[in-house]
Amino acid sequence: MTPLIEAPSERLLAGIKSLLASKGIATAEEIAERMAQTDRASPAQGARMVARAWTDPEYRALLLRDGAQAAEAMGIAMRGLPPLGVLENTDDTHNLVVCTLCSCYPRAVLGYPPFWFKSPGYRARAIRDPRGVLAEFGTVLPAGQRIRVVDSTADYRWMVLPQRPVGTDGWDADRLAALLREGDMIGVTVPSAA
């Protein structure tokens, strides 16, 4: 018998899928839909949520109260996924997200994590020297703004709600969303209209 580790991955996948189906855990269609969802997820989804929060106070309140519900409101399927917490940047406090244990990341709204998010270097340094890490991303915070590092260790996934950049008065949500990069929603960068 071929050792499991050497078995062709397509055959392993087919075997697991047929086990899940025969045990009534998940159908082939459900698995295909979840795979498609995972591939569709990208920072553009988080950006749409942030841009709407900047232009719609009721949505902003919902986003801060229950991120998963706010994601659902934008058509992002959250069923069966961890709760989504949203950290609001203010004049007083800037939030930075790290998972020092491994790689917890709000994939449903930001897609696959950037490669550095899982690196031992980012995980060790973001928690201890966040200003140094931000500087390497070219991010300089205003004097007096505190840094809160959120270590994502358990059942939540965390995303940052950045501050709306100056010089964007009158912009609609689509134009605002186009400003946002994934780092803005992790907290390593801040959006700018310049």
# of chain residues touching another protein (CB under 8 A): 23
Annotation marks residue 9 as catalytic: no
Residue carrying the six token digits 């930001």: 110
Among 112, 149, 168, 181, binds another protein (CB under 8 A): 149
Annotation marks residue 152 as catalytic: no
83 interacts with another protein by CB under 8 A: yes
Phi and psi at residue 157, to the nearest 5°: -120, 145
Looking at the Cβ atoms of 112 and 156, the one nearer to another protein is: 156
Among 127, 137, 165, 181, binds another protein (CB under 8 A): 127
Among 112, 116, 137, 156, binds another protein (CB under 8 A): 156
153 interacts with another protein by CB under 8 A: yes
Cβ 3 to another protein, closest distance in Å? 22
150 interacts with another protein by CB under 8 A: yes
Cβ 194 to another protein, closest distance in Å? 26
Q: Tell me which of 9, 18, 102, 192 is the catalytic residue.
A: 102
Catalytic residue numbers?
99, 102-104
